[in-house]
Amino acid sequence: MNTFGDESNNLPPLLRKPDPVSDPVPVAQLRGARKALTENPVSPLDDGAASIVTAGAVEPMLLRKMIEAEGETAEAGLLMAKPVVGGTLYAIPPHRRFLDLDVLPDFVNPRWAHKVWTAMDVEASAAAPVTYETSIDEESGEPQAVFVIRMPNRKALADAVAESMRRTFYAQNGKNVYTESVLQQGVKEPMTLFLVRVVYDDGTHQETFTVAGDGNSRLVSMWLARTGGDIDEAAAACVAAVIGSVDRSGPRRPADQRAARTKVAEMAARVRRGLAEPTLTEATRREGHTITFPAMVIVGAVTENGSPMPDLVAARDDLVANLHVNVTAWTEGAQNTQGMQRVYRHALHNGLIDKDTYQILLGEVAAEQMHQLLGLPPHRLWSSALHQQTVLAGYRAEQMNLLIKQEFGMGRADRQRVSDHLAPMALSSYRSSERIEPAIRAFGNGGTITDTVWKQPWQLSTGDDAFKVLDDILIKAIGDDPAAVAELTVLAGTAAILDGYITRDRGSKVGVTREGGKAPFRATPNKLLAILASTYGGLRMLHSIARAHIAADPGILPKRYHTFDHEVDGVLVRDGDPVRDKVGALVTIDYEWDLVYAADPIGAEAAIAENRATLGNNHTKDDDQMAEDTRQRRILEQGVKNARKAVNVLAKMVPTRGREVFGSHEGVQMLREHLRKVDDILVAFGPERTAVLDLDDEGDGDEE
């Protein structure tokens, strides 16, 4: 459990005593405030939503005065106007609310949503993306200032809330955890709350809550301060207080809500008694500073012409983004993900994409469902390709480009900017991968956006068998079909980025030896792909990378092909012929080096020669042509021999110069530990012995 203060577990210094809080007002006395909300001229709320707003307020009578309007002020009363794209949101001005009454953390669209594994991912996720939409009044058919979320049951809701709290706690290395501040002086800055109606699929009807839009870290910190600093205990306390039992077969009953208000009243009484004591106890500080908090609640939403706002989701995103970008550092991935989600939503409304495509882009369906909906091969690589085809290809590209410029405030949306903003969404099906972060950086450095891909007419081929689809695309691409070249560039280029064969063009990675993390010359991903896609051998290598990626089998590795006509050991090889070693086996692509070298062999040789002259490297060309496993075995054998020689020479020096010839004791222990690790790896991964051999350990002819 986390503790606060010094080693003696003292609480942090007290800056402000908690305020005494009166008991919650009985529900029967809230009718006036509730009526004012239901008659609110700016997108009136239904009775259920109005009850949640009024029931959680510390001073409902003040709430009523804020909402009521007469005469010329009837449009908004004293509500606060919050301008957003396409209209205005109206909020009840800051007022104090009870933490335990119908307030949930942001499990709808949090700042870590760009890391949630989607339904398309191969790894199962306990926190699937939560989708929400604007509530529509059943009687009038008009939208309301309420979100609708569908959940399988109350347990799923509780799990989503707990996961939200945990991710908020661990995000950004704890920089947004304000628990000590809460214990010192409570929460000072008002939070922004939205009304959310949860509809359960298991037949338990629906329930309404308020959910944090802005201030989620403060809300989580309040529960941490209440419970002592352990995030799991904080999440459990929040679920128990706000949601209640997750095993019940129906929604909360009036009796349950009365019981919750009774518990809050008991807490308020304890705080008042504690404040009257000469010494402020830990319990009084924890409960006193967390029983209430200041908040604004969004209760209205209208368009620019005054009609109810049909897309509350976009308005909510716009409001929260403006609040956070200027106040709290928001990760670039989160901004780009949520921005592209808004771009897709606008594209759906504008008829640029259909609902099936929209579902796939948001990651709401798995690969098999994608195949059923659009006929694409049932593999998540095609999900990534669909993002790119939607944004980059054909007649839609200009309109999608305009939406991206509008969303991110760009004067110009070139390939670099588009790939940077698209990257987290295009690779969203691979969030469980350990290599996802470097892949996103590479994709954001131009990605697969070559001239044949950018604003050109190309489609994604359909089919049941991913391998056959890839083979058919290769045949068309080699036949100089530009659409097939674009399709193969996107599919294989994405696979190459995900598997580390193409990395971003930043940092110092130019070298003179063929190894991981190095390349003979630097090239952005899209420029490298453009060169490869211009040769038959390059297309075959890209095809081989895509096949290996889909197979996900260590026995199926991408192979190298010649990318120009030349002689090898007196034999003419042509562009597209396989590269073979001395025993006739196809040579494997091991590193990014192999692709960069193959893209421009002449330029690579010139760059290597220039760098070798500068660095004085004694690397030979034979090393480049050697199979990677052979080269690494040679390095291992030579290293072991050199170590054996060195240790023997030093041992012979001990009688005359002492044991200090081996260096310090700590240094020798470190060397022994390294040798043990090498031995462990050889035992664990080396081939099993098939015959009993009579080994003579002392028969090493290299000893001196």
365-374 per-position pLDDT tens digit = 899 999 999 9
In the predicted structure, residue 264 carries a pLDDT above the cut 60: yes
Q: Please write the tens of the pLDDT for every residue from 524-575.
A: 999 999 999 999 999 999 999 999 999 999 889 999 999 999 888 888 999 9
Interval 371-388 mean pLDDT: 97
Interval 475-484 mean pLDDT: 96
Distance (Å, whole) CA 440 – CA 434? 12
335 three-state secondary structure: helix
Q: What pTM value is reported for the model?
A: 0.72
Q: Which residues are paired to 150 by β-bridges?
A: 199
Do you know the residue count of the chain?
A: 704
Name the percent of the chain lying above pLDDT 90: 47
User: Measuring CA to CA, how many Å separate 439 from each of 166, 205, 493, 495?
Assistant: 26, 43, 11, 10
CB burial of residue 577 (10 Å; 0-12, 13-18, 19+): middle
- Residues 357 and 376 sit within 8 Å (Cβ to Cβ): no
In the predicted structure, residue 499 carries a pLDDT above the cut 70: yes
Interval 63-89 mean pLDDT: 68
Q: What torsion, rounded to 10 degrees, do the Cα atoms 526, 531, 532, 534 define?
A: 120
Name the percent of the chain lying above pLDDT 70: 88
In the predicted structure, residue 503 carries a pLDDT above the cut 50: yes
Interval 243-249 mean pLDDT: 84
Phi, psi values for residue 524, rounded to 5°: -65, 155
Q: Provide the pLDDT for residue 619.
A: 52
**Of the ranges 128-132, 301-305, 341-345, 690-694, which one carries the lowest mean pLDDT score?**
690-694
**Of the ranges 118-127, 195-204, 317-326, 451-460, which one carries the lowest mean pLDDT score?**
317-326
Distance (Å, whole) CA 496 – CA 108? 33
Distance (Å, whole) CA 191 – CA 104? 12
Phi, psi values for residue 521, rounded to 5°: -150, 165
Q: Which residues are paired to 295 by β-bridges?
A: 95, 191
Q: Provide the pLDDT for residue 624.
A: 53
Q: Please write the tens of the pLDDT for every residue from 165-185.
A: 988 888 766 677 899 999 999
The helix or strand, by DSSP H or E, that contains position 526, with its residue range, turns out to be: helix 525-532
pLDDT, greater one: 27 or 395: 395
Distance (Å, whole) CA 460 – CA 357? 13
Interval 133-154 mean pLDDT: 88
pLDDT, greater one: 167 or 398: 398
In the predicted structure, residue 626 carries a pLDDT above the cut 70: no
Q: Provide the pLDDT for residue 75.
A: 47
Q: Provide the pLDDT for residue 496.
A: 97
> How many of the other CB atoms lie within 10 Å of CB of 343?
25
Q: Parallel, antiparallel, or unpaired: how do β-strands 191-200 and 143-151 relate?
A: parallel
Q: Quote the tokens at residue 386.
A: 């669909």
Q: Parallel, antiparallel, or unpaired: how do β-strands 87-98 and 292-303 relate?
A: antiparallel
Q: What value does the mean pLDDT of the chain take?
A: 85
User: CA 18 from chain center: how many Å?
Assistant: 38
Instruction: Supply the DSSP string of 45-85, one letter for each residue.
Output: --HHHHHHHHHTBS-HHHHHHHH---GGGGGTTTPEEEEET
**Of the ranges 297-301, 451-455, 459-463, 504-508, which one carries the lowest mean pLDDT score?**
504-508
Q: Provide the pLDDT for residue 327.
A: 38
Eight-state DSSP code of residue 232? H
The candidate with the shortest Cα–Cα distance to 240, out of 165, 309, 184, is: 165
Q: Which amino acid is at 401?
A: N
Distance (Å, whole) CA 157 – CA 105? 11
- Residues 593 and 518 sit within 8 Å (Cβ to Cβ): yes
Instruction: Supply the DSSP string of 549-593, one letter for each residue.
Output: HHHT-TT---B-B--S-EEETTEEE-TTPBPB-TTSPBPB--SHH
- Residues 296 and 193 sit within 8 Å (Cβ to Cβ): yes
- Residues 500 and 576 sit within 8 Å (Cβ to Cβ): no
